[in-house]
Amino acid sequence: MKKMLGLAVICFLSLNLMSAEDEGYFLSFSQKGQLIWRGEIKGDDGSWYNIRMVPGYVAPSRNALENWGDATDSFGEYFEARKYKDLSRNSSDAYEWAFDDCINKFIIKGVPDSWSEYFGAANNKVEKRIFGWPMAYPVAVFQTFVDNVFRGVAGTTGCVFGATAGTVIVPGYHMINSGTKGVYYFVGPGMILPMSAYTWNTIISPPLALTGQKPSEERIDGYWVTKISPDEYQAENNKLDGDDIDAIAVWGKILYDNLWKYEDERVKNQKILADKLQALNEEISKKKQELIDDSSKTSKDSYKAEQDGHKRLLNSPENNEIICKLGEMGLSNYTVEVNYYKLTRALAGKNMSEEQARTAYELLKRYSNIKPVAGKPSSNKKDSAEKTDPVKETIQVLKNTDK
């Protein structure tokens, strides 16, 4: 046994030395560490590549914290009026869901579509020799098995469930779903999935780090191996503190206070358009294009006025301080998106209603690209690169069944 262990160690070290010396195929030592710790590799071209089948240890930890925040939001739904409006609406949809969605779309049409999708993707990986291609067909078999079993069981069960749910189960569901969702986010994505990812990463990353080839533009498929843009990588690794979030929220409030009226004008214009189209239904073939053209012109004028207002805000002396801070931060669309919950909470703390905070958030996304101050590096942010392991891949397959 000791001799076997010694031989394995020698082989391992030899292959690693080979990879350190080779600059064209095997991963270097630093790249091995990147793959194991982050699930991402910095290629020789300076670009970062995400290896989807390797979760790393960084992304699962970040996802755990985010899902614990989602759990808090889920429990808060019990205090929102929207929850009880949904209860009333969903109860009337039970029969349509049972037969049209569960039986016709989910099972009859879904099963052949899933075979075509997963085995077509596997064939593409094998032909292109994508990173990890020998696993393509086994993974496809696993995906279709999970998909079809789930469709058969869930579709049939859903049909029976939907036919009797309208008056009893749906109301009961709405009374417990937020709590269940909160527990799910806290225990499932917040605890079980990170632990699963840690375990899977400990198993899969060392052999791939030992034998894997260096990633490049020719060895990516957009799914198993993807290229990470410089902005995405900067955003992923730049942590914003409370002052940074508050600064973005201040800018969002300024955008809302000055630009929300244009959005309101567009909404009113769309309502007028809909009313006219309904009243002129008999003459729709003749009048529709005229109305759409008129609406389009009005919307373009409104967008132009909004953009002019945005430029005035950027150039206003009273906004110099906040604009400079955002520029030093390197504010971008990635930064705004990844900090959604923090920003909406910060906006709500500035005497804004939930609807106003959402509008301000959309304005922040629309006008988020603030040029950095000269000499200061930009710091964009985006969600962690997507990772997978058997548990998460199963969940992804189940999510795909809803397509």
Model confidence at 244: pLDDT above 70: yes
Model confidence at 383: pLDDT above 50: no
Mean pLDDT of 172-189: 79
**74 contacts 178 by C-beta, under 8 angstroms:** yes
Q: What is the pLDDT, as a whole number, of residue 8?
A: 45
Model confidence at 267: pLDDT above 80: yes
* DSSP 3-state of 222: coil
Q: What is the pLDDT, as a whole number, of residue 275?
A: 83
Q: What pTM does this model have? A: 0.42
Q: What is the pLDDT, as a whole number, of residue 67?
A: 84
Query: What share of the chain has pLDDT > 70, as a percent?
Result: 88
* Residues 321-336: tens digit of each pLDDT: 888 888 888 788 888 8
Number of domains in the chain: 1
Q: How many residues does the chain have?
A: 403
Whether residue 333 lies inside any domain: the answer is yes
Mean pLDDT of 338-360: 86
279 vs 274, 287, 289, 299, CA distance in Å?
9, 11, 15, 21
* Segment (H or E) for 195: helix 193-211
β-pairing, 225-228 with 40-42?
A: unpaired
Whether residue 307 lies inside any domain: the answer is yes
**HEC assignment per residue over 11-80:** HHHHHHHHHHHCCCCECCHHHHHHHHHHCEEECCCCCEEEECCCCCCHHHHHHHHHHHHHHHHHHHHHHC
76 vs 182, 255, 343, CA distance in Å?
9, 28, 17
* Residues 126-160: tens digit of each pLDDT: 888 888 888 888 888 888 888 888 888 888 888 88
Q: What is the pLDDT, as a whole number, of residue 22?
A: 47
CB atoms within 10 A of CB 270: 13
| Mean pLDDT score of the chain | 78
Confidence of residue 372 (pLDDT cuts 50, 70, 90): low
Amino acid at the residue 88: S
Whether residue 389 lies inside any domain: the answer is no
Q: What is the pLDDT, as a whole number, of residue 136?
A: 84
Measured on CA atoms in the order 192, 194, 198, 203, is the torsion positive or negative? positive
* Residues 275-328: tens digit of each pLDDT: 877 777 777 676 777 767 777 777 777 878 888 888 888 888 888 888 888 888
Quote the domain boundaries for residue 284.
Answer: 242-366
